[in-house]
């Protein structure tokens, strides 16, 4: 069967393993595994004229508001993305366009190219979820909302990574449910062939990974670990990413680890292999690839019931979910019950790995992507 030619069109180069924490690269490889040929049209490059006009746009905007413009979601960005596409598509043959996290950028592209859009959320959902959107003006928010709506309307198919995102799109935008395909996202790192060498005894090792201490629930992690220590458990807490604001005897800070650097990747793999729990009680999270990676290594995820996390952490299967207002005491009680039974910890670990293989691995995305391509091409020929 002929391979589908998929144009990968977005703001970042998918061949760059650092882009979007490696998700673009993993996605590109998953699409190739979906019996597709990827034609890389990214990153979208804007000329000097765009940046000059954007500067003028910002100056005019400041006359009326002391807040910011969301530059990724502007008609200027949409128009220049279409101009760039016209230039880059010359002498290239594609069947389908894939536009991940690039809503405004495909709004004005030629309609002859069916578009598969992916994101872990949509603008209108995010603006009321993440606190940083308060810095943008109402004018900018309204323009961004309009562009998001136009993008979803234009897309032939919409891939979303969580029920949280899907439910919002269905309710907020109307008449789009038939376009939506739900797909999990796998690990953005090498994973072990098996986890049978993992040991399940004291000291118990917890792993915290994140770049934003407050949003990732860092203080709650420390409070819970100290509660567990008072209950008599010996705990080691490994922290990766953001530097904790305090130093603790039980805590080891490993800095920011770059998966594209061999020694960093090796250390990160070791930390996952030696840990029993991933403890990241995020205050807000659209999905959380880190939970997928934890499951691949057989870690039990301790997380918050917010955003898209429940689609990657299945309560009682590969982890446990807590309400956003749950105190450290609640976390400690649940974890204590697991630590008191090494056999239960081992069972949960093996279950987490099985859940990853059956529900989260990138092969699932590949299979769904291939089916989407078949559906689109069949529809275009009928």
Q: Which two tokens stand for residue 344?
A: 């239960």
pLDDT by residue (tens digit) across 107-120?
Answer: 999 999 999 999 99
CA distance linking residue 92 with residue 75, whole number of Å:
26
Instruction: Identify the pLDDT of residue 199.
Output: 86
Rg of the chain (C-alpha set) = 22
pLDDT by residue (tens digit) across 65-114?
Answer: 999 999 999 999 999 999 999 999 998 999 999 999 999 999 999 999 99
Q: Are 143 and 107 in contact (CB under 8 A)?
A: no
Q: Is 15 exposed, middle or buried (0-12, 13-18, 19+ CB in 10 A)?
A: middle
What is the band of 382 on the pLDDT scale with cuts at 50, 70, 90? low
Domain-by-domain residue ranges, the chain?
4-186+362-381, 204-360
pTM exceeding the 0.85 threshold for the entire prediction: yes
Fold match flag (4-186+362-381 vs 204-360): yes
Q: Which two tokens stand for residue 369?
A: 């992507």
Q: How many CB atoms lie within 10 A of CB 149?
A: 18
* Topology (CATH level 3) of domain 204-360: Rossmann fold (3.40.50)
Superfamily of domain 4-186+362-381: Glycogen Phosphorylase B; (3.40.50.2000)
pLDDT by residue (tens digit) across 277-300?
Answer: 999 999 999 999 999 999 999 999
CA distance linking residue 137 with residue 67, whole number of Å:
5
């Amino acid at each position: 069967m002929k391979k589908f030619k998929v144009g990968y069109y977005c703001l970042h180069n998918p061949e760059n393993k650092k882009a979007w924490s490696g998700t673009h690269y993993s996605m590109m490889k998953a699409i190739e595994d979906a019996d597709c040929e990827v034609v890389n049209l990214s990153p979208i490059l804007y000329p000097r004229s765009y940046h000059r006009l954007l500067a003028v746009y910002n100056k005019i905007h400041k006359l009326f508001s002391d807040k910011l413009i969301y530059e990724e979601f502007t008609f200027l960005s949409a128009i220049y993305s279409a101009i760039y596409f016209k230039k880059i598509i010359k002498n290239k043959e594609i069947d389908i366009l894939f536009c991940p996290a690039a809503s405004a950028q495909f709004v004005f592209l030629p309609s002859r190219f069916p578009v598969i859009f992916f994101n872990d959320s949509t603008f209108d959902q995010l603006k009321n979820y993440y606190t940083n959107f308060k810095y943008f003006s109402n004018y900018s928010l309204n323009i961004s909302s309009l562009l998001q709506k136009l993008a979803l309307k234009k897309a032939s198919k919409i891939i979303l990574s969580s029920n949280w995102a899907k439910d919002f799109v269905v309710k907020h935008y109307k008449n789009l449910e038939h376009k939506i395909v739900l797909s999990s996202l796998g690990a953005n790192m090498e994973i072990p062939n098996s986890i049978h060498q993992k040991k399940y005894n004291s000291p118990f090792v917890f792993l915290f990974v994140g770049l934003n201490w407050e949003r990732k629930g860092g203080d709650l992690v420390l409070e819970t670990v100290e509660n567990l220590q008072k209950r008599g458990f010996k705990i080691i807490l490994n922290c990766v990413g953001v530097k904790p604001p305090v130093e603790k005897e039980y805590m080891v800070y490993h800095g920011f680890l770059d998966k594209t650097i061999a020694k960093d990747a090796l250390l990160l793999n070791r930390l996952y292999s030696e840990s029993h729990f991933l403890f990241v009680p995020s205050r807000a999270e659209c999905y959380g690839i880190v939970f997928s990676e934890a499951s691949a290594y057989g870690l039990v995820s301790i997380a918050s019931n917010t955003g898209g996390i429940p689609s990657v952490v299945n309560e009682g299967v590969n982890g446990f979910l807590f309400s956003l207002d749950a105190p450290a005491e609640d976390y400690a009680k649940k974890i204590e019950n697991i630590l008191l039974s090494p056999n239960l910890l081992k069972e949960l670990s093996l279950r987490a790995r099985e859940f990853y293989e059956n529900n989260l691995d990138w092969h699932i995305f590949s299979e769904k992507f291939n089916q989407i391509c078949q559906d689109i091409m069949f529809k275009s020929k009928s």
